[in-house]
Chain A
């Protein structure tokens, strides 16, 4: 099937999509956007998190066809004009990235949290990131990064 959808502000049209494939597969394998990661394909790890019409979802659990005519934003769409988003800068500076596999999903989830809750409590951060697993950092640096990004955002 043919699928037309807006990804990171640009209209993408792809052919020969298998109707049972996921939005994640389509992004990575057909649209040249490998930022979103595939780690579990069952909604458990959050490394495939993207925005679908402004809401963070596991793209491995969205059928490609369900994204027809929708707006998708991936980790590749967070930076603007070559300038990293404050959440991305904070992750780098706080050491919240080790192997980096979980990072794209965590960035989208953290980006969404800070857009809704500019000054989140630790509990709110933990709850917002509960669907994102990291096997390297032990999460403390990730919490640091989100707190730091919130401060940056407040100062900006």
Chain B
């Protein structure tokens, strides 16, 4: 096994192209488990930890360009205002030791349906920027990035450069069900984002379908009902029945399975409860801000 350690993004892309047998490693919190347990024996490790470009984030016009290698601990400390949903989800990842190493790029690379970064990225309308030496950069909306259980849209010669996340224009929430407050792979998870500027709603469902996914019907339904009742402008109280109906539509968008962590029925039920609560919290935050 070789250990490739590029110190620039250009060199990293060149190494990715030259060594199809290499596995990229960022924080290592997924890759090292596989190596330690003999589940993977790649021809090389491509360490991205020395590529400075990946460890930076920058605020661009209405967006945050989050380098793929920024760890959760820094998202929590540095981006809680701009990206509240992602920061909330980041707080629930693993343990302090894990959050210091693990990255959003690694979460996207693994593309587990249980990855906690995915629901808030979907709810916010994030775009994944990937790049190859041969073809340059391309941008993939998060919802098109997840292509199957632990599969993503990355081509073999590409690396994830960054995630472009719209700066929050309104409140965002994230909820996750698990057996503890730490070190938990989500039984089910839900994120929502209110976009009062556009009068739209964003959602993201985790651990309740082969891939992380949005609940488009629930989004349109809620945005439309809020519009019909003039609530976007009046900022009146969110009717309980509306929150409940939203929750039911979120649950209907899932296609969960039974597994060791929970049953499909429980996943669906917990999603409807989380969605109802999360959207109520978010709406109350919006009212308070007014």
Contact = CB atoms under 8 A, between A and B. Distances in A.
B151 interface: no
Contact of B95 (A19, A60, A62, A130): A130
B153 interface: no
Interface in A81-112: 109
B32 A62 contact: yes
B41 A20 contact: yes
A61 B182 CA distance: 18
B97 A109 contact: yes
A109 B96 contact: yes
Interface in B7-50: 25, 27-29, 31-33, 35-37, 41, 44-45, 47, 49
Given A1-B3, A55-B100, A66 B182 contact: no
B97 A22 contact: no
Contact of B100 (A57, A127, A130, A132): A57
A56 interface: yes
Interface stretch (A36-44, A72-80, A145-153): A36-44
Helix, strand, loop or mixed for chain B's interface?
mixed
A63 B1 contact: no
A31 B233 CA distance: 66
Interface residues of A, number: 28
B182 A63 contact: no
Contacts of B231: none
Contacts of A128: 96
Given A66-B47, A131-B96, 5 more contacts: A20-B45, A22-B35, A43-B33, A43-B97, A61-B28
26 contacts: A1-B3, A18-B1, A19-B45, A20-B41, A22-B35, A22-B36, A42-B36, A43-B33, A43-B95, A43-B98, A44-B183, A46-B95, A46-B97, A56-B97, A57-B101, A58-B101, A62-B28, A62-B32, A63-B28, A63-B35, A65-B45, A66-B28, A127-B96, A131-B95, A131-B98, A131-B182
Interface of B: 1-3, 5, 25, 27-29, 31-33, 35-37, 41, 44-45, 47, 49, 73, 94-98, 100-101, 181-183
Interface of A: 1, 18-20, 22, 41-44, 46, 49, 55-58, 60-63, 65-66, 68, 109, 127-128, 130-132
